Amino acid sequence: MLDVCVVHQLLPDPGKVGVTAIDKRPVVGPVSAGPYGLYGDVQADRKHHGGLDKALYAYADEDARYWADQLDRPTPAGWYGENLRVSGIDLSAARIGEQWRVGEQLVVEVTAPRIPCQTFARRVGGADQRGWVKRFMQAGRPGAYLRVVARGQVAADDAIVVMTRPESASTIAEVYAGA
């Protein structure tokens, strides 16, 4: 794993909630993770971007670099609203129900792909905002939501180990394609 990110500040947002917690930034050192996510993080809209089944959001550095090239701008860790910026894991190939051990104690389970929303489109901003949701969907690089199965601490240099992988379950890419 490359980075662990928590909310930097709540930002005003014209959506239904009135604020967004998409502004996540990397932290130094270990962070505790529990059923609703990382200590010090906020999920302004738990109905769509949080709760027990979406406690954490992982995004691959490889996908972030793809978008940085497409958008011709940097997309640093946390830019997608992710809690975990990972590398070397094909998140689109992860299966629903797959469990990972992150660090020594944290166990998470893959639950769903991220479905982009207008808050995310506003985050992109400027001329790139128009058509962003459709563009992001078509690229097929959604990242993965995770449920916390066993509490633990997570830090930027922690290894991620796939513990179980239900071979008959749909992949993130398959679920995303049907969204």
User: Average pLDDT for residues 129-150, to the nearest whole number?
Assistant: 93
pTM, rounded to two decimals: 0.94
CATH number attached to the domain at 3-177: 2.40.33.20
User: Average pLDDT for residues 150-163, to the nearest whole number?
Assistant: 97
Q: How many helices (H) and strands (E) does the chain have?
A: 5, 13
pLDDT digits (tens, 9 = 90+) for 81-113: 999 999 999 999 999 999 999 999 999 999 999
Q: Is the pLDDT of residue 127 over 70?
A: no
Q: Is the pLDDT of residue 129 over 80?
A: no
| C-alpha to C-alpha distance for 135 and 137, rounded to whole angstroms | 5
Show the CA angle centred on residue 50, arms to residues 100 and 160, nearest 5°.
Answer: 15
Query: Which two three-digit tokens encode residue 120?
Result: 């995310």
Q: Is the pLDDT of residue 126 over 70?
A: no
pLDDT digits (tens, 9 = 90+) for 30-69: 999 999 999 999 887 777 678 899 999 999 999 999 999 9
Mean pLDDT of the residues in the chain: 92
Strand, coil or helix: 80: coil
Gyration radius of the chain's alpha carbons: 15
CB within 8 Å of 29: residues ≥ 6 apart: 155
Using DSSP bridges, classify how beta strands 106-113 and 144-150 pair: parallel, antiparallel or unpaired.
antiparallel
Q: Which residues pair with 162 in a beta bridge?
A: 100
Q: Where are the domains of the chain?
A: 3-177
Query: Which two three-digit tokens encode residue 111?
Result: 């639950």
| C-alpha to C-alpha distance for 81 and 14, rounded to whole angstroms | 17
Helical spans, DSSP H, in 2-149: 46-49, 61-71, 118-124, 132-139
% of the chain at pLDDT higher than 70: 98
**Predicted local distance difference test score (pLDDT) of residue 59:** 98
Specify burial of residue 28 (Cβ count, 10 A radius: 0-12, 13-18, 19+).
exposed
Q: Is the pLDDT of residue 128 over 70?
A: no
